[in-house]
Structure 1
Amino acid sequence: MTLAPTEQFSVRRAPSVAAVALPPRGQFIGGEFVPSRSALTEEVENPATGEAIASVACGSVEDVDAAVAAAVAAKDAWAGTTPKERSEVLHRIANIIEANRTELEQLESANTGKPAAVAEDDVSSAIDTFRFTAGAARTLTSLAAGDYAEGHTSVIIREPVGVVGVITPWNYPLLMAAWKIAPVLGAGNTMVLKPSEQTPLSTLKLAELIADEVPAGVLNIVTGSGGVVGQRISEHPDIDLVAITGSVGSGQKVAAAASSTVKRVHLELGGKAPVIVFDDADLVAAAQGVRAAGFWNAGQECGAACRILVHESVAEEFTELLVREVRAMVIGAPGAGDDVELGPMISAAHYRRVLAGLEDVRREGHTIAVGGHALEAPGYFIEPTVVTDVPAGAPITRTEIFGPVVSIETFSTDAEAVERANETVYGLAASVWTASSSRSLGVPRRLDFGTVWVNSHLVIASEVPWGGFKGSGYGRDLSLYALEDFSRTKHVMLNRGA
């Protein structure tokens, strides 16, 4: 296959960097912002420019302990509210986000480098998460009360877990906070949340905006490092469940720390999503789907369509279509236009990791059909990249690069496609592209992933669960399943003869 030389991408810059409304300084504990127990701070930067935009506290063990104490003090009163009362709070939170969406979108873009379309989708999805959960919290069902043992009536009760610790990632700061706050509070729990030290601003701003709607101590936020704040949340004896969205390594550390107090753990971890393109697929639609889902949020997405398995008979045509799509992508900083699709890597450290991954690709002898290079400073921009001539078992088929890089490998039979797709430690998401109704129904059942799309990729709805298998963790976000994950089942049996 012959492809034209890689075209030179460029970064479109905004005419000026917009000012953003920063949240108050300090930790959000007991319903208000208070000074951190630690004097240490960390700069938060705009990855599109590399410039600092704020500094936040590097929280301490004492900050976490204070936040947990506030959550413990508030938990009985919050657990005693009715589903209707909690639902009304969640509805009000959704309305507040809606009323302040422009401010939140701008802050999110400034802290993450997200293009306008991604930031807008994040805020819209956060609103929908709260609105869905507000309704779902009033509709939980379980086994009907009845006589399952002679002379005894059984009643099943869904209770809050208690105090929930939450650790959210840097790639979707506001949205991942919403995915946890909504069901945790909707189920009647109180919580302590640690946002990523790289992207804490929108979560802190949310706390500022909703402080008057959520009773003091129900929601607490402590900024700081995973090694200090995350570790203390995970091991704290008064936290009943800890939930993390993050890397596999981070999830392993959380689970290990949580084991000391035998608390429940909810893990939404990494992914390496295979995209199986069969010989009867609509190749144009598949290429467009990979353009959207492989490079959404600059590929910094655990469900990204990053590993393409295409039937050998259509591999050349599909690759040409995909390269054409990728070459048309618009790269830019926040504020550079509504048509910008690709923003920067989140940080200098991650930028270096992705570039190191591309150097590994070159050492392995794979072909880079388009992209593969850093873009001009300032900021941490990398060209959208398509890697071809990837053999079975190559490192790139297993390693989560977490950047704007997709790889293409070929297969010859359906069985081989399924076997190869499953040859990964991850099990978060996958997609199947085919015109066959038989394949549409049969292949997803054989794929070991928590979500499998057919003829689409990375389409998410609040009504359906999100979560993985294997190394991608366990537990479910979104849907009624999230409310179940953040509650516990109690059986009460009454002896009618007593």
Structure 2
Amino acid sequence: MTATQTEQFTVQPFTVRRSSGSPDIAGVLPPAGHFINGSFVPGSTGLLIDVVDPTTEAVIASVQAGTADDVDVAVAAAVVAQKTWGATTPKERADVLNLIANIIEENREAFQVIESANTGKPQAVSEDDVSSTIDTFRFMAGASRTLTSMAGGDYATDHTSVILREPVGVVGVITPWNYPLLMAAWKIAPILAAGNSIVIKPSEQTPLSTLKLVEVLAGRIPDGILNVVTGRGRTVGQRLSEHPDIALVALTGSVVSGQAVAETAAKSVKRVHLELGGKAPVVVFPDADLRAAAAGVRNAGFWNAGQDCGAACRVLVHESVAEEFTEHLIREVSTLAIGAPDAGDDVEIGPMISLPHYERVKESLAEARAAGLNIALGGSALEGPGYFIEPTVISNVPAGAHIATHEIFGPVVTVETFSSTEEAVTRANESPYGLSASVWTRDSSLSLRIPKQLDFGTVWVNAHLVLACEVPWGGFKGSGYGRDLSLYALDDYSRTKHVMINHGA
């Protein structure tokens, strides 16, 4: 793509739409303590962590810097509560999950305001997060009553076997900053549905919606089944991973975080559920609807400002249509509106979550420039307060380029070319990640054959980043193991027991 070609459709410089005033969230902020055994309690040290609005860089709240002692108190409460909760029937647990969904629905506006203030998400993203959270609890309420297992029967002469599905016990949960409420729901709903209790550590950068959740649930669900300890990973997360009374640790986060949790958990041989990073390839074949593919990358590559482990961030397009596709993509991405959550319903791109992450994304872009890569659109930070990065398209990226293989986790899409189907598959699979990918083609044979050859937990055809509670989400390779959503999540958070009865004596 040359400068002359780009100018044919007049790309306007990106600007940030600013808020007309500081959003007033004081009336909906949750208490700042830990939530243990049904009540908010102070931390053991009184030390606090500031929570920053990434749109304005202003401190909007402070939460407790939790300690190992705080975790121990929460786990003790969860152990006691789980004994009663684990003995309930699936219907009783389903009733509680439906109640949680109803309570979130009743407080929808507060959750949307908090999520946008804490993360800088545009209104459309926060609204979708809250709707998806409600749907997750409703789905798991129904799914909890449909657990399947091997049929009971006589598999040895005069012995009847029964297969039981049991809770694992207390589950430690560590959630990320990119979807604070939704990722909490993806863990809380199936874990409770399976009869377990929980101690959850939200990201110290985005703890507010999780604290709001337990605030509105207090006194309306059994005490002790859902506990929250805020704090940093190296203290709270570490203690959850090593605690002898925690049976399983579930984490959504970075590969480095997942490796640390798995290493610590291995010492006590506890189970681990990991949903880690991604670098999703988008394979565009020459027969594809190029306009639709470009629109798909616009939506799935830049949703939540690209801070999504399934983001469509690495395009592999056939060399014969690469120039045309790139032109469509630049045209699409150039129309994205950047700004504060309350700067208009049409704002689509918010800020990076924090100053350190903002600096990491800027460093990746600087490395791309230093390597001589062609930044076809964007590529810079935006002036003024907030951690805003221009939506960026980097074209003509050579095979193996660093920016195309490591996770940037920002509004950056790279475009590479391939010459044969075999090369496309090989290059797509070279990634150390294996979370998601997409294939764009009108060829029915390719649409069936290529997904089987791609080493990713989810492969879309002529779509990207479309999710549903009924189907599993999780990866291969460096993206971890275990499945969120669907009945497979309930399997992950339960254990199988075989009971054999001798009736021939």
What TM-score, normalized to structure 1? 0.99
CA distance in 1, matches of 2:112, 2:216: 14
Give the percent of matched residue pairs that are identical in Structure 1 and Structure 2: 69
State the Cα distance separating 1:399 from its structure 2 match. Answer: 0.6
Task: List 4+ stretches of structure 1 deviating above 2 A.
Answer: 3-7
Residue correspondence of structure 1 range 178-257 to structure 2 within 5 A? 178-257=185-264
CA offsets 1:98-155 (integer angstroms, 9 cap, x no match):
1111110010000000000000000000000000000000000111000000110000
State the Cα distance separating 1:7 from its structure 2 match. Answer: 3.5
CA distance in 2, matches of 1:140, 1:65: 32
Q: Does 1:291 align with 2:294?
A: no
CA distance in 2, matches of 1:140, 1:99: 29
State the Cα distance separating 1:425 from its structure 2 match. Answer: 0.6
CA distance in 2, matches of 1:396, 1:175: 28
State the Cα distance separating 1:17 from its structure 2 match. Answer: 2.4
Structure 1 counterpart of 2:360, from 353, 361, 381: 353
Q: For residue 335 of structure 1, what is the aligned residue in structure 2?
A: 342
Q: For residue 127 of structure 2, what is the aligned residue in structure 1?
A: 120
Could you tell me which runs of 5 or more consecutive residues in structure 1 were left unpaired when the two chains were aligned: none
Are 1:11 and 1:332, in contact at CA under 8 Å, matched by a contact in 2?
yes
CA offsets 1:152-200 (integer angstroms, 9 cap, x no match):
0000000000000000000000000000000000000001000000000
Name the amino acid aligned to 1:2.
Answer: T
Name the amino acid aligned to 1:333.
Answer: A
State the Cα distance separating 1:19 from its structure 2 match. Answer: 1.3
Q: For residue 14 of structure 2, what is the aligned residue in structure 1?
A: 9
Q: For residue 479 of structure 1, what is the aligned residue in structure 2?
A: 486
Q: For residue 66 of structure 1, what is the aligned residue in structure 2?
A: 73
CA distance in 2, matches of 1:136, 1:245: 22
State the Cα distance separating 1:12 from its structure 2 match. Answer: 0.5
CA offsets 1:281-301 (integer angstroms, 9 cap, x no match):
000000000000000000000
Q: For residue 333 of structure 2, what is the aligned residue in structure 1?
A: 326
State the Cα distance separating 1:75 from its structure 2 match. Answer: 1.1
CA distance in 1, matches of 2:475, 2:32: 36
3-state SS of 1:143 partner? coil
CA distance in 1, matches of 2:328, 2:130: 32
CA distance in 1, matches of 2:289, 2:500: 57
CA distance in 2, matches of 1:372, 1:312: 24
Q: Does 1:36 align with 2:43?
A: yes
CA offsets 1:193-224 (integer angstroms, 9 cap, x no match):
00000000000000001112221110000000
Q: For residue 152 of structure 2, what is the aligned residue in structure 1?
A: 145
CA distance in 2, matches of 1:447, 1:303: 15
Q: Does 1:164 align with 2:175?
A: no
3-state SS of 1:279 partner? coil
CA offsets 1:412-437 (integer angstroms, 9 cap, x no match):
11110000000011000000000010
Name the amino acid aligned to 2:266.
Answer: S
Q: Does 1:315 align with 2:322?
A: yes
State the Cα distance separating 1:389 from its structure 2 match. Answer: 1.5
Q: Does 1:400 align with 2:407?
A: yes
**Greater Cα offset, 178-187 or 35-44:** 35-44
CA distance in 1, matches of 2:2, 2:17: 29
3-state SS of 2:372 partner? coil
CA distance in 1, matches of 2:305, 2:260: 27
Are 1:7 and 1:370, in contact at CA under 8 Å, matched by a contact in 2?
no
Are 1:17 and 1:335, in contact at CA under 8 Å, matched by a contact in 2?
no
Name the amino acid aligned to 2:21.
Answer: S
State the Cα distance separating 1:398 from its structure 2 match. Answer: 0.9
What TM-score, normalized to structure 2? 0.98
CA distance in 2, matches of 1:183, 1:274: 29
Are 1:370 and 1:385, in contact at CA under 8 Å, matched by a contact in 2?
yes
